[in-house]
């Protein structure tokens, strides 16, 4: 490898009109400042962290793609309000092959948490969403999504200051599609119930889902055309 002044190299590329893709390796809620402390890493994992890490100005950031799963997972300890320790949680882990890529530890699984997802979208200024592992939920008759938290007699739609309290997730239920998604190659081929799930998420999150993955192969990545962007 050739040693270079990477910050100069990247900024010169941007000035030439080239595209630079910066990929974050860890989830937003592991951010040392804004994550679920003390269950965090030692750096900033939100999108602004690339400015410090790469030496680029915030004004150089164009699109911010937020990658999330159609359900929720977590490795190791830490708060997880929507965690499922029943057969549905085990099904998600089994169908999703949910084991830590580095540690090999099994991931904890649960329903999608829109309170946490809205929070991370806000922190990183997400402009487009990418939904992964949609096919993991294929067999379920009912899909749940956490739209708010209840702590005592108070309801929270935003992330509360502390997650140490006994949090009761408030769910909205949607019909499952109960048909394999892994054979779909375009948005038009997706079942109506799944498309309804996508529309529900977009309405809740107020950010478009521009890419949907329905399997591990590159051909199972569906690019949605949104306002002539893709």
Same domain? For 40 and 57 the reply is yes
pLDDT for 106: 85
What whole-number percentage of the chain has pLDDT above 70? 97
Same domain? For 114 and 134 the reply is yes
Same domain? For 78 and 35 the reply is no
Instruction: Please indicate whether residue 227 or residue 1 has the higher confidence score (pLDDT).
Output: 1
Same domain? For 179 and 116 the reply is yes
Same domain? For 77 and 160 the reply is yes
Same domain? For 41 and 140 the reply is no
* In a domain? residue 138: yes
Q: List the one residue out of 205, 228, 169 whose CA is nearest residue 68.
A: 205
* In a domain? residue 43: yes
Same domain? For 74 and 38 the reply is no
Q: How many domains does the chain have?
A: 2
Query: Over the stretch 24-61, which tens digit does the pLDDT of each residue have?
Result: 888 999 999 999 999 999 999 999 999 999 999 999 99
The C-alpha atoms of residue 203 and residue 41 are separated, in whole angstroms, by: 31
The C-alpha atoms of residue 34 and residue 88 are separated, in whole angstroms, by: 30
* In a domain? residue 229: no
Length of the chain: 230
* In a domain? residue 192: yes
Q: What are phi and psi of 153, to 5 degrees?
A: -105, 15
* In a domain? residue 230: no
Same domain? For 133 and 190 the reply is yes
> What CATH number corresponds to the domain at position 159?
3.90.170.10
* In a domain? residue 185: yes
> What CATH number corresponds to the domain at position 9?
3.40.440.10
* Residue where a domain terminates, one of 44, 62, 80: 62
Whether residue 190 is predicted with pLDDT greater than 90 in this model: the reply is yes
Same domain? For 122 and 170 the reply is yes
* In a domain? residue 228: no
- Cβ atoms of 175 and 169 closer than 8 Å: no
* In a domain? residue 74: yes
Same domain? For 81 and 193 the reply is yes
Query: Over the stretch 83-139, which tens digit does the pLDDT of each residue have?
Result: 999 999 999 999 999 987 777 778 999 999 999 999 999 999 999 999 999 999 999
Split at pLDDT 50, 70, 90, the class of 228 is very low
* Residue where a domain terminates, one of 33, 62, 91: 62
Give the pLDDT mean for 125-154.
Answer: 96
Same domain? For 89 and 201 the reply is yes
pLDDT for 230: 45
| Secondary structure (H, E, C), 62-93 | CCCEEEEECCEEECCCCCCCCECCCHHHHHHH
Domain that holds residue 207: 64-223
* Residue where a domain terminates, one of 22, 40, 62: 62
pTM: 0.92
pLDDT for 76: 80
């Amino acid at each position: 490898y050739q040693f270079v002044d990477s910050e100069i190299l990247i900024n010169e590329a941007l000035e030439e009109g080239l595209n630079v893709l910066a990929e974050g390796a860890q989830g937003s809620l592991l951010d040392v400042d804004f994550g679920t402390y003390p269950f965090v890493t030692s750096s900033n994992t939100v999108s602004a962290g690339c400015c410090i890490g790469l030496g680029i100005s915030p004004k150089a950031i164009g699109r911010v793609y937020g990658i999330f799963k159609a359900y929720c997972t977590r490795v190791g300890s830490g708060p997880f309000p929507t965690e499922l320790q029943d057969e549905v949680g085990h099904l998600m882990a089994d169908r999703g092959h949910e084991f830590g890529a580095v540690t090999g530890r099994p991931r904890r699984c649960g329903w999608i948490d829109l309170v946490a997802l809205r929070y991370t979208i806000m922190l990183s200024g997400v402009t487009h969403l990418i939904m992964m592992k949609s096919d993991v939920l294929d067999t379920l008759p009912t899909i749940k999504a956490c739209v708010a938290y209840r702590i005592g007699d108070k309801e929270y739609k935003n992330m509360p200051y502390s997650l140490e309290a006994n949090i009761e997730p408030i769910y909205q239920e949607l019909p499952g599609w109960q048909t394999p998604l892994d054979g779909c190659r375009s948005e038009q081929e997706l079942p109506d119930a799944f498309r309804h799930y996508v529309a529900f998420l977009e309405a809740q999150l107020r950010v478009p889902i521009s890419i949907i993955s329905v399997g591990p192969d590159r051909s199972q990545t569906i690019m949605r055309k949104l306002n002539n962007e893709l």
